[in-house]
Amino acid sequence: MSSKQFLAVSTHPYVEYGYEKYQHFQPTENVYPPYSLSARPFAWLLKKSMHDLNLKYDLQIDEEVEINWPLGKNWLQMGESHQAVFDYLYKDVVPDQSLCLIYAKQVPFIEEVGRVIIGIGHVKNVSMPIEHKRNKKNGIKSMLLETHISHSIREDHKGCFPDSV
């Protein structure tokens, strides 16, 4: 929700484990735009979800490749699978028309478990996922598993929903 851009450098998590099939991945810059939030569709990126997602949404995830990949038992590993999920999720988002609801799971002084809406605005832009940099092109491709959703929510409440408080 910051008005400032933020830069982070991400390393594929399996590089740190020393897995040989992932050593071609290089640190990758991830720019968080001002007035944006990160979105990571956890359930959609789980291997156990891919069969149902393919049946229901025809995502074209290569289940055989994902199932037989020797590492990463829980998460989709192939960049093509990541791209298919993100493409489907955001294909109907229309800038300045689609709503963005920002919530928190924990807020001070509230002991109940649940979600609390902290802002409603319009989506301004969805940044597609960034591909992990690679030092060779013949290794598997992978994406950073989050996108950035820029929104209209501002401190002065202009562009929020409703437009005034």
- What pLDDT does 164 receive? 41
- What pLDDT does 161 receive? 67
Asked if pLDDT for residue 34 goes beyond 60, the answer is yes
Residue listed under structure tokens 């037989």: 68
Pick the closest to residue 29 from 45, 5, 51 (CA basis): 5
The answer to the question of residue 159 being in a domain is no
The answer to the question of residue 109 being in a domain is yes
Token pair recorded at residue 81: 């699978």
- What pLDDT does 162 receive? 61
The dihedrals phi and psi of 163, each to the nearest 5 degrees, come to -65, -15
The answer to the question of residue 156 being in a domain is no
Domain count, the chain: 1
The answer to the question of residue 165 being in a domain is no
Asked if pLDDT for residue 165 goes beyond 90, the answer is no
The pTM is what?
0.85
Residues 74-94: tens digit of each pLDDT: 999 999 999 999 999 999 999
Are 35 and 150 in contact by the 8 Å Cβ rule? The answer is: yes
Report d(CA 146, CA 112) in Å as an integer: 28
The answer to the question of residue 163 being in a domain is no
Which structural domain range is residue 71 located in? 6-151
Residues 117-156: tens digit of each pLDDT: 888 999 999 998 999 999 987 788 999 999 999 999 988 8
The answer to the question of residue 164 being in a domain is no
The answer to the question of residue 1 being in a domain is no
Token pair recorded at residue 8: 């982070």
The answer to the question of residue 125 being in a domain is yes
